[in-house]
Amino acid sequence: MRLEEPECRWRFASVSRAVLATCGTDRRPHLVPVTFAVEADLVVVAVDHKPKASTDLRRLRNIADNPQVAFLADHYAEDWTHLWWVRADAAAVVTAQGPDWRNAVDLLRERYPQYRTQPPEGPVIRASVQRWSGWAASPGGRARE
């Protein structure tokens, strides 16, 4: 069944990781699992302290080339009546300082205990969701109003 926007937002925010999809000028999709925080129709992601091969991350280069991104959050279960997914299509910007950066880091620190002791210091992705869409096998787990 198709999910309405409030249900999409609620389910998306209920999971601790999503997959970020970007695409640069090479027109090749790039997918990466991310931790995130949500505030209304804003999704924020940080480049954190976890080991990376380089700080020149493809996701950041892709956003500079093409700000259109998508996030996918889902729930899988062996009982397929519990399956669902939510997609957030957004326009993203990367920022490395200032009040928008600080607000994003604060949101992430509130959500993830790991960030309270070692907050992200790298750039953040601020994605303004333009469209929420989703599907669920059954109406269970309705959004709270």
How far is residue 42's CA from residue 52's CA, in Å, rounded to a whole number? 25
Q: Supply the pLDDT for residue 33.
A: 97
The answer to whether the beta carbons of residues 30 and 58 sit under 8 Å apart is yes
How confident is the model over 7-18, as pLDDT tens digits?
999 999 999 999
The answer to whether the beta carbons of residues 93 and 126 sit under 8 Å apart is yes
How far is residue 79's CA from residue 142's CA, in Å, rounded to a whole number? 18
Residue 116 buriedness (CB in 10 A; 0-12 / 13-18 / 19+): exposed
27: tokens are 């027109």
pTM recorded for the entire structure: 0.91
Q: Which domains, from first to last, does the chain contain? A: 5-132 (2.30.110.10)
Residue 59 has pLDDT above 90, yes or no: yes
DSSP one-letter code for 2: B
Confidence at 143, pLDDT banded by 50, 70, 90: very low
